[in-house]
Amino acid sequence: MRIFVAGGTGVLGRASLRALVEAGHEVRSTARTKEKADLVRSLGAEPVELDLYDPPAVREAMDGTDAVLRLTTRIPPLAQMRNRHSWQETNRLRTEGARILVDAAIAQGVKVYVHESVAFVYADGGTQWITEDAPTNDGGSKILHAALEGEREAARFSESGGRGIVLRFGGFYGADAPSTVEMIKGMKRRMIVQPGSGSNYISSIYVPDAARAVAAALNLGAGTYNVVDEDPVSFSEYIRALALAMRVPQPFRVPGAFGKLMFGEVWNYVCRSLRVSNTLIKKASNWKPSVPSVVEGWPLVARELQQEPHRRM
């Protein structure tokens, strides 16, 4: 297929370009700088310099495209997550950016539109497994409101006659993910703590597994699919596994109220218990995660970082 990727130089984007090229697709990806264009070429794709908020330019860039993938986000560093202003660009990319992409895809007769979203949009599920038909809830958060608004663009694409596919990803982790590197640095400096009991479930996904799901999504039917690992763990197990993998002391436990102080409104949904199921996408495709949970994943990331000196902590 001829594929246009918006956001091919981000964490998920880079891994997805590799997966798409390896699958034999002809791939073009947005790249705003010379350095990013060189990166796209190194991954086997063709770079496209493009302002994603310029509708005529976006339409022109999609000419002859079979599928459009929206993988655009600009997640702030951990230290800035409590600052609402740091999420403005991500919110805009998920809403206005998605609308412009879908308008262009419909105008150009594109057949498939894949939209990156997040599993955090689900309401707290306690210990129950969460499937794609479970209730969603933005909790008054502009961040989650934007995520859900963006998902509706995929539905609009399907209503136009195409296949609109929403992928709700668990929390990314991997050696190439800045958030992972930040978390490891914080863990080694004893700056990562456990607010509250840590009994809430957290659903994650190893970045290369997420990228393979993006490639598999090209053959899915229209709809929403969870992309998470096999075995969600509690938050306390999550950070305990990270500490063990990095051979550092276990994090301090602090009152739950500290979560809001550290992360602002982000904590309102990060502390939800989300035991998310990946059954639907496994049944609908040949995809399954190679890493079943962070218990196996964190040691894998630790080994990868040791093998790449420029990323050593």
27-36, 42-51, 191-200, 216-225 — which is least confidently predicted?
A: 191-200
**Cα–Cα distance, 81 to 90 (Å, whole number):** 12
What per-residue confidence (pLDDT) applies to 281? 98
Q: Taking residues 72-76, what's their average pLDDT? A: 83
Both tokens of 83, joined, read 């600052």
Strand order in the sheet with 223-227: 46-48, 26-30, 2-6, 67-70, 112-118, 163-169, 223-227
Share of the chain above pLDDT 90, in %: 78
**Cα–Cα distance, 268 to 263 (Å, whole number):** 9
State pTM to two decimals: 0.94
CA distances to 18, 45, 166, 246 from 28, rounded to whole Å, are 12, 5, 20, 37
**Cα–Cα distance, 247 to 225 (Å, whole number):** 35
Strands 163-169 and 112-118: parallel
pLDDT band at 161 (very low <50, low <70, confident <90, very high): very high
What per-residue confidence (pLDDT) applies to 49? 94
| Tokens 């609402």 found at | 84
**Cα–Cα distance, 10 to 7 (Å, whole number):** 6
What per-residue confidence (pLDDT) applies to 306? 86
pLDDT band at 309 (very low <50, low <70, confident <90, very high): low
Domains of the chain: 2-311 (3.40.50.720)
What per-residue confidence (pLDDT) applies to 274? 98
pLDDT band at 313 (very low <50, low <70, confident <90, very high): very low
